[in-house]
Amino acid sequence: MAGHAHYREAHPLVFVITHWINLICMIMLAFSGFYIHYPFFGGFMGVARGMHFVAMYVIIINLTFRIIAAFFVKTATDLGSRQVDTDIKNWLPQEKNKHQFFETVKYYLFMRKEAVISAKYGSLQKIAYLATIPLTYLMAYTGFAIYGPTMTWGLFSGGVEMVGGPMNMRIIHYFMMWVFIVFTMIHAYLANIYNFKPSKIIFAWKESE
Amino acid sequence: MAQEAHGAIYDLLAVRGVSRRDFLKYCSYVAAMLGLSEAAAPAIAAAVEKGSKLKPALWLNGGSCTGCTESMAQVDSPDVATIVLELLSLNYFETVMAAAGEHAEKNIKDTIAAGGYLLIYEGSVMTGEDGNTLLVNGHKGTDILKEAAESADAIIAVGACAVDGGWVAAHPNPAEATGVQAFLDVEGVKTPVVNIPCCPMNPEWVVAMVVQWLLVAEDDPATFLAKTELLGKTYADRLTGRDVTLLYPKYVVGSTIHDNCPRRGHFENGDFVTEFGSEEEAMGYCLYKMGCKGPQTFTQCPITRWNRSVSWCVQSGAPCIGCGAISWVDNNTPFFKRLSSMQMGDGLGYVQPGSVAAVVGGVAAAALVAHGLGMKAAGRIGPDGPPTETAKKHDRKRQAKGGDK
Ligand code: HEM
Ligand code: HEM
Ligand code: SF4
Ligand code: SF4
């Protein structure tokens, strides 16, 4: 689980870049979001909103690109392997992930000693990474539903009516920020808990044995 | 009101100390509200004059605090808006009419029997206790409304209460109050309803709709609907459990308060009031941090303003409390907090979204620290990590059972 090598095939350069863009956008969005939520110092609202309104397009384009690229770029099929296949196959559950969900949960709850066999990513990891897709789009939806130029579009005003008004939509958007914060906390924790080799490859594109 | 003799309109205005010039100025102001050019002012004046003798109207009060009537009538100088409304043939207006008792009731009956009138309805529709929460001389308010609505040409629902129940319908809504449109939907009454939001409603908006009727309707509701710029907004009515579509004058609800707010420059610059009575407040900074609901509230208050365009909430130093919104009390309290508080089930009180978020974030952080310590204690941390199984448990079990048959 942790002792394997980390090769560039696991995260080809384009995905290192998409991860970077995603991370930077997330930081900008969360920071400006906090500020819009409650301006904790003066003189920054115009900049904060501008930042939010730029990053929100970038993050959506980046995610959409990442998904499309998954059908064309090849990535490693397994941990510590240089053997590659189309990324989407390694991103969606693989043969090796079968029957491993509860075992993985048990492992993290200290209910079993040995680490579980996993494919490119473990079952939980795959669920979490895949979940970021609808979550990010939903975040965009709730955001555009409170965004002046778009909130009157039928697509968004229908949703605003459904949740009972723009105030509730704001609260949902705000809560969803915390979903991302908690995701990122857990994600960064699990990615680095054994050693920093995974981070070296995803951020610096440096291999380690 | 109905008892007063209607003189020629300008005579009447003169008696009240309003000059012809004032009146025309007011008409051009109404024209702007209706999306017409100033050139339409004489046409409006003519329509008002014509209407003054022709259009009968009823002003009924439901579950209301009479604040909207106050808003209409509370002026220290003769107010054109009030006079224009007086010029309608208002056959019943509980709060200010001279008639009383049987005589007043007869006025309602006669008007309904004759038909072809405008119904102005103020206040919520209180349906609780089978309609017995609101009785007028032994008659249920709900019955009076239904009867009056059926024969009316059109209804103007004035104020947040008439729109969707307003504060009367706020949780827990003991009177089981709702708005006019929601009530009429259930009763199957199809008379068109135009909604004028806010608590209280802005008199100028009511006048604009009355004038619009006189100007374009030719006494036909369908023509009125076709020629008036209206905006439909759907909401789920909590009492009736139905989706209700409210028609508003587009002018009134087309943009947010925030979009038209004179303090918007301060908002963009990040100049905020953090405390009442502070220097920032004296400088007229933005009230966002004081809980201003302007960004979420779709009404035209900053442009129309109140008390004959003297001022409005934010201009007078108070954050907008969003009284023009649907379910405005439940959605916008506490008034001085940015986001509304969420109710945690009956009797458990209210909580701010920020507090919930902080707890969730804190618990997650603590759980991760605890988990990390556990990982260390279990000896899993290190360059190699824990040993990995050689075969999946699922496969091992099947192997033990004898494998595939
Ligand atoms: C993905 C596309 C996104 C869109 C289209 C979007 C859009 C918006 C808009 C329009 C606003 C209101 C700004 C204003 O009215 O001044 C807003 C506020 C906010 N956004 Fe986003 N946003 C997005 C993503 C995010 C993300 C990823 C986060 C955090 C991780 C975030 C956190 C916030 C917060 C906390 C607020 C303030 C809410 C409040 O308390 O009023 N947003 N966003
Ligand atoms: C503190 C910041 C972060 C750190 C340290 C970090 C670290 C990592 C690492 C080490 C990997 C590779 C995992 C592996 O191969 O085992 C990874 C992948 C990934 N991370 Fe992050 N990450 C961070 C922030 C985020 C954020 C904010 C998101 C999204 C909300 C995110 C989404 C993903 C996804 C979807 C992958 C899968 C790789 C891919 O799809 O290309 N990460 N991250
Ligand atoms: S005072 Fe309210 S409406 Fe005006 S700019 Fe500030 S937040 Fe917006
Ligand atoms: S500014 Fe806000 S609180 Fe004031 S009347 Fe308008 S909607 Fe109501």
Residue B398 in domain: no
Report residue B336's pLDDT band, with 50, 70 and 90 as the boundaries. Answer: very high
* Residue B90 dihedral angles phi and psi, to the nearest 5°: -75, 105
Token output for B134: 């609101």
Cβ atoms of B118 and B156 closer than 8 Å? yes
| Residue in chain A nearest B370 by alpha carbon | A109
Token output for B156: 């103007």
This prediction's pTM? 0.89
Position with higher pLDDT, A209 vs B302: B302
Cβ atoms of B291 and A167 closer than 8 Å? no
Residue A209 in domain: no
CB pairs under 8 A between A and B: 145
Question: Mean per-residue pLDDT for B264-274?
Answer: 95
Gap from CA of B223 to ligand 3 centroid (Å) = 38
Domain count, chain A: 1
Residue B319 in domain: no
Pure H helices in B92-249: 101-114, 141-151, 160-164, 180-187, 203-216, 221-227
Sign of CA dihedral A134, A136, A142, A145: negative
Domain holding A7: CATH number?
A: 1.20.950.20
Which residues lie closer than 8 Å to B195 by C-beta, 6 or more apart?
B157, B162, B163, B179, B180, B181, B246, B247, B248
State the residue for tokens 């200290």.
A110
- Cα-Cα end-to-end distance for chain A: 13
Nearest-atom number in ligand 4 for the CA of B325 is 7
> Would an 8 Å CB–CB cutoff place A52 in contact with chain B?
no
Cis-peptide, bond into residue B334, ω within 30° of zero: yes
Report residue B103's pLDDT band, with 50, 70 and 90 as the boundaries. Answer: confident
Residues from chain A contacting residue B389 (CB–CB below 8 Å): 114-117
C-alpha separations of A128 from A124, A132, A194 in Å = 6, 6, 19
Regarding the beta carbon of A55 and ligand 2, being less than 6 Å apart is answered no
- Predicted pLDDT at B345: 73
* Domain assignment of residue B223, given as a range: 8-253
Residue B363 in domain: no
Token output for B18: 């309003």
Residue B234 in domain: yes
Instruction: Tell me whether residue B277 is exposed, middle or buried, using C-beta atoms within 10 angstroms of its C-beta: 0 to 12, 13 to 18, 19 or more.
Output: exposed
Which residues lie closer than 8 Å to B256 by C-beta, 6 or more apart?
A148, B294, B295, B296, B297, B298
Segment holding B139, helix H or strand E: strand B139-140
* Residue B13 dihedral angles phi and psi, to the nearest 5°: -60, -40
Domain count, chain B: 1
pLDDT, tens only, A23-67: 999 999 999 999 999 999 989 999 999 999 999 999 999 999 999
Q: Which range, B31-45, B81-95, B182-196, has the best average confidence (pLDDT)?
A: B182-196
Q: What is the largest CA-CA distance in chain A?
A: 55
Cβ atoms of B338 and B291 closer than 8 Å? yes
pLDDT, tens only, B348-382: 788 899 999 999 999 999 999 999 999 988 888 87
Cβ atoms of A65 and A18 closer than 8 Å? yes
Position with higher pLDDT, A151 vs B308: A151
Token output for B176: 């089981």
Return per-residue pLDDT of chain A as tens, 209 residues: 467 888 899 999 999 999 999 999 999 999 999 999 999 998 999 999 999 999 999 999 999 999 999 999 999 998 888 999 999 999 998 888 888 899 899 999 998 888 888 888 888 999 999 999 999 999 999 999 999 899 989 899 999 999 989 999 999 999 999 999 999 999 999 888 888 888 999 999 988 88
Report residue B252's pLDDT band, with 50, 70 and 90 as the boundaries. Answer: very high
* Residue B285 dihedral angles phi and psi, to the nearest 5°: -70, 170
> Would an 8 Å CB–CB cutoff place A174 in contact with chain B?
yes
Domain holding B29: CATH number?
A: 3.40.50.700
ipTM of the predicted assembly exceeds 0.95 = no
User: Can you say how many angstroms the Cα of residue A3 is from the centroid of all Cα atoms in its chain?
Assistant: 24
Cα–Cα distance measured from residue B359 to residue B365, given in angstroms and rounded to the nearest whole number: 10
C-alpha separations of B391 from A88, A95, A118, B21, B129 in Å = 25, 13, 11, 94, 69
Cβ atoms of B182 and B188 closer than 8 Å? no
- Predicted pLDDT at B126: 96
User: Closest Cα to residue A160, out of A178, A136, A142?
Assistant: A142
Report residue B4's pLDDT band, with 50, 70 and 90 as the boundaries. Answer: very low
Gap from CA of B263 to ligand 3 centroid (Å) = 6
User: Closest Cα to residue A180, out of A135, A140, A143?
Assistant: A135
Token output for A81: 């392997």
Whether residue B3 has pLDDT greater than 50: no
Cβ atoms of B34 and B251 closer than 8 Å? yes
Pick A115's closest partner by Cβ from B272, B365, B389. Answer: B389
Residue B32 in domain: yes
Regarding the beta carbon of B293 and ligand 3, being less than 6 Å apart is answered no
Token output for A128: 């979490």
A165: left (phi > 0), else alpha (psi -120 to 50), else beta? left
Q: A164–B235: do the CB atoms touch at under 8 Å?
A: yes
Regarding the beta carbon of B323 and ligand 4, being less than 6 Å apart is answered yes
Cα–Cα distance measured from residue B210 to residue B213, given in angstroms and rounded to the nearest whole number: 5
Which residues lie closer than 8 Å to A128 by C-beta, 6 or more apart?
A183, A186, A187
User: Can you say how many angstroms the Cα of residue A190 is from the centroid of all Cα atoms in its chain?
Assistant: 14
Residue B130 in domain: yes
Cα–Cα distance measured from residue A202 to residue A187, given in angstroms and rounded to the nearest whole number: 13
Q: B235–A161: do the CB atoms touch at under 8 Å?
A: yes
Gap from CA of A134 to ligand 1 centroid (Å) = 16
Residue B124 in domain: yes
Which of the ligands is closest to the CA of residue A170? 1
Report residue B97's pLDDT band, with 50, 70 and 90 as the boundaries. Answer: confident
Cα–Cα distance measured from residue B383 to residue B366, given in angstroms and rounded to the nearest whole number: 25
Residue B59 in domain: yes
> Would an 8 Å CB–CB cutoff place A168 in contact with chain B?
yes
Q: Give the Cβ contact number of residue B106 at 10 Å.
A: 13
* Domain assignment of residue A140, given as a range: 2-204
pLDDT, tens only, B5-37: 344 667 777 777 777 787 787 787 777 777 777
